[in-house]
Amino acid sequence: MPILELRNVSKSYGEPGSANAVEILRDANLVIEAGESVAITGPSGCGKSTVLNLLGTLDEPDRGEIVFDGEVIKGGSIVQLSKLRSEKIGFIFQLHHLLPQCTVMENVLLPAQALAEKPDFAVVEKRAKELLSLVGLDQRLKWFPGQLSGGERQRVAVVRALINQPKVILADEPTGALDETNANTLTDLMINMSEKFGISLVLVSHNPDQAQRMKRVLRLHEGKFESVK
Ligand code: ADP
Ligand code: ADP
């Protein structure tokens, strides 16, 4: 069952034909199955972040459709889109984007506070503790981001992305600021979480070593997705 699809999507920046025109996607198709892990790779500037923003409904295609869980996203209101994002999508970025004045636990709980329908916070806090323990951070609940290592911060960002039990995790160069050992650990951790909970993972990386750790690897090339693994 597909969870997320791009159907005949085209996306460019700038006036077509002008000097600053950039074509990112041309009639591109992409199907992400529920629960699968996919890497999208390609050199810097080829349009990986743009693709992730389209998948995350943060940006709109020029032509074509984005389909999330069988529903065409086009034309959704801002309220509908933000509801979809907070309930069904977890985002992870290159830089953790943790709030420095909030503890690890508080940072992890933030997306739950953004939900339109207030969850049972006792349940969410229990989940937060269990997830932090799964990523080896059970001793860090009351620490602040500034007291953590780079790898630990990204693990907090992974838990924050999982807290609302999303259907998809979208990760944009999540290991970009880490050394190789920490990068490998983090990528494997995201893959494990995706498998454990049946959440799809779409990871965008210019680093072929990180991309190769995933079962399925696509390359963005001349406006289309090519299968490389
Ligand atoms: P990647 O993530 O692969 O590095 P991006 O998606 O960030 O690539 O960018 C792809 C290309 O589109 C780059 O040439 C970039 O300069 C251009 N670009 C990205 N965002 C915009 C924008 N909002 N307006 C104009 N050009 C943009
Ligand atoms: P259990 O200890 O009951 O076997 P799991 O190991 O399956 O639980 O899950 C560990 C924690 O992850 C639990 O707190 C659970 O609430 C949480 N969890 C379960 N499913 C998901 C999901 N899809 N996304 C994020 N967290 C989840």
Q: Which domain holds residue 160?
A: 2-227
For ligand 1, the distance from its centroid to the CA atom of residue 46, given in whole angstroms, is 7
CA distances (Å), origin 220, targets 5, 93, 177, 187, 229: 15, 19, 22, 20, 13
pLDDT of 214 strictly over 90: yes
**pLDDT value at residue 65:** 95
Provide CB contacts within 8 A for 6, sequence distance 6+: 25, 28, 29, 30, 51, 54, 55, 61, 64, 65, 66, 67
Q: What is the DSSP string of 96-122?
A: ----TTS-HHHHHHHHHHT-SS---HH
Virtual CA dihedral for 58, 155, 4, 36, nearest 10 degrees?
A: 160
Domain of residue 153, CATH code: 3.40.50.300
- Report CA torsion sign: 125, 200, 98, 113: negative
User: What is the pLDDT averaged over residues 46-72?
Assistant: 94
Ligand closest to 223 (CA) is: 1
Q: What is the pLDDT of residues 131-173, one digit of tens each?
A: 999 999 999 999 999 999 999 999 999 999 999 999 999 999 9
Tell me the percentage of the chain whose pLDDT exceeds 90: 90
- The Å distance, Cα 45 to ligand 2 centre, comes to 37
Instruction: Please give the distance, rounded to the nearest whole angstrom, from the Cα atom of residue 127 to the centre of ligand 1.
Output: 36
Question: Can you give the pLDDT at residue 40?
Answer: 98
How many angstroms separate the alpha carbon of residue 108 from the centre of ligand 2?
15
- Please indicate whether residue 45, judged by its CB atom, sits closer than 6 Å to ligand 1: yes
Q: Enter the ipTM.
A: 0.80
Predicted local confidence at residue 213, as pLDDT: 95
Out of 108, 109, 124, 127, mutate this one to test ligand 2's pocket (max ligand atoms within 8 Å of CB): namely 127
Q: How many CA atoms lie within 13 A of 204 on its CB side?
A: 25
Query: Of 131, 187, 151, nearest to 141 (Cα)?
Result: 131
* Banded pLDDT at 127 (limits 50, 70, 90): very high
User: Residue 208's pLDDT band (boundaries 50, 70, 90)?
Assistant: very high
Residue nearest to atom 14 of ligand 1 (CA): 45
Task: Decide whether any atom of ligand 2 lies within 6 Å of the 195 Cβ.
Answer: no
Total tally of structural domains belonging to the chain: 1
Q: What is the DSSP string of 145-181?
A: GGGS-HHHHHHHHHHHHHTT--SEEEEESTTTTS-HH
Testing ligand 2's pocket by substitution, the residue of 121, 158, 197 carrying the most ligand atoms inside 8 A of its CB is: 197
98-101: long-range pairs with CB below 8 Å, 24+: 98/145, 98/153, 98/156, 98/157, 98/160, 99/145, 100/144, 100/145, 100/146, 101/144
Residue whose CB lies within 8 A of the most ligand 1 atoms, among 22, 172, 206, for a mutation test: 22
pLDDT digits 0-9 by tens, 68-112: 999 998 777 888 888 999 999 999 999 889 999 999 999 999 999
**Tokens representing residue 224 in the block:** 């289309």
pLDDT at 29 over 90: yes
